[in-house]
């Protein structure tokens, strides 16, 4: 059996594991991200973990999913948030290949999630797919006719920055915006989206208004994406999809915004792989970059 090492770099933690040639994670774990100290510290931690894993598994390559805007061909970090200090300008591929002497690939985390869902998740067997991650912000990725569209500057799919209702889409349709509205209108004791929906399910009148407004805002962006790209399926990721009724409730707001034709040809589904999606998707990108390993 052939093995590959996979990593998902975030600002607070790094998920990692070993995946086999069939795309199945056979081992996984996580560690704190030292992003506050600098990108080099993150890469050095990956080097250490890889050397440790290699004592058990004869890995043939390293596949990385990472926050930030990543040139997935060269490995250069083009843009990143302050969660990872001194990350912009680093070349992940060159650094790790020089330390570990094995092929490395790296791709943006939402693009990686999309590849995972496209190959073995909610978008499997679809020809075209849009992925949205709804959380602190809204991330996106676009696969058309089987091809991931990364854009000229490797930032295609930044749907969270679309202008909706005179605001950034993620400012009015992310989970954090839902929580912020509840804290302002109901009380500062509310900590997360789960608490908002508990009040909603108890028919709290203000919570009903807040949740309906959230769904309305989210549905505007989804409808615009459907009209623009006509994907076969729109896959929604993020912790909010843990709510069993979420997709059904959201669809009730999206459908009236779509014409009859698009309602017929657009499916909305929840992502299936949750926290593992970045690692799994990174593996599929690795195979695209190094087809000799397919």
24 within a domain of the structure (yes/no) = yes
Q: What is the pLDDT of residue 67?
A: 95
What range defines the domain where residue 203 resides? 124-271
119 within a domain of the structure (yes/no) = no
179 within a domain of the structure (yes/no) = yes
DSSP-assigned states of every residue in 58-125: -EEEEEEEESSEE-TTT-BEEE--TTSTT-TT-BHHHHHHHHH-S-EEEEEHHHHHHHHHHHHSTTTT
Q: What is the pLDDT of residue 270?
A: 97
Looking at the structure, do residues 16 and 86 belong to the same domain, yes or no? yes
* Residue ranges for the chain with pLDDT beneath 70: none
Looking at the structure, do residues 266 and 134 belong to the same domain, yes or no? yes
Domain containing residue 246: CATH number: 3.30.420.40
Name the 3-class secondary structure at 171.
helix
Looking at the structure, do residues 197 and 182 belong to the same domain, yes or no? yes
117 within a domain of the structure (yes/no) = no
Looking at the structure, do residues 67 and 130 belong to the same domain, yes or no? no
Q: What is the pLDDT of residue 1?
A: 84
Number of domains the chain is built from: 2
Q: Are 214 and 175 in contact (CB under 8 A)?
A: no
Strand partners, 104: 62
First-to-final CA distance of the chain: 13
Looking at the structure, do residues 259 and 193 belong to the same domain, yes or no? yes
Looking at the structure, do residues 166 and 282 belong to the same domain, yes or no? no
Looking at the structure, do residues 44 and 166 belong to the same domain, yes or no? no
Q: What is the pLDDT of residue 242?
A: 93
d(CA 239, CA 260) in angstroms, rounded, equals: 30
156 within a domain of the structure (yes/no) = yes
Q: Where are the beta strands (DSSP E) in 114-241?
A: 129-134, 138-144, 147-149, 163-164, 167-168, 233-237
């Amino acid at each position: 059996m052939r093995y590959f090492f996979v990593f998902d770099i975030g600002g607070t933690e790094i998920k990692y594991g070993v995946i086999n040639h069939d795309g199945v994670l056979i081992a996984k774990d996580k560690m704190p991200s030292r992003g506050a100290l600098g990108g080099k510290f993150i890469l050095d931690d990956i080097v250490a973990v890889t050397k440790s894993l290699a004592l058990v598994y004869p890995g043939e390559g390293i596949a990385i999913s990472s926050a930030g805007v990543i040139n997935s061909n060269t490995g250069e970090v083009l843009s990143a948030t302050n969660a990872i200090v001194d990350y912009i300008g680093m070349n992940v591929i060159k650094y790790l290949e020089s330390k570990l002497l094995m092929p490395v690939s790296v791709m943006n985390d939402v693009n990686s999630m999309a590849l995972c869902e496209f190959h073995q998740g909610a978008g499997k067997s679809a020809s075209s797919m849009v992925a949205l991650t709804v959380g602190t912000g809204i991330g996106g990725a676009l696969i058309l006719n089987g091809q991931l569209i990364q854009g000229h500057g490797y930032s295609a799919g930044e749907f969270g920055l679309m202008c909706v209702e005179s605001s950034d889409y993620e400012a009015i349709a992310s989970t954090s915006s839902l929580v912020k509205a509840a804290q302002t209108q109901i009380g500062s004791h509310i900590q997360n989206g789960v608490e908002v929906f508990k009040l909603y399910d108890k028919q709290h009148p203000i919570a009903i208004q807040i949740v309906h407004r959230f769904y309305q805002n989210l549905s505007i962006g989804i409808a615009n994406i459907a009209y623009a790209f006509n994907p076969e399926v729109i896959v929604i990721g993020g912790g909010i999809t843990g709510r069993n009724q979420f997709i059904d409730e959201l669809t009730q707001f999206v459908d009236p915004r779509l014409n009859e034709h698009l309602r017929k040809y657009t499916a909305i589904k929840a992502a299936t792989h949750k926290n593992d999606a970045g690692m799994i998707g990174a593996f599929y990108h690795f195979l695209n970059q190094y087809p000799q390993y397919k």
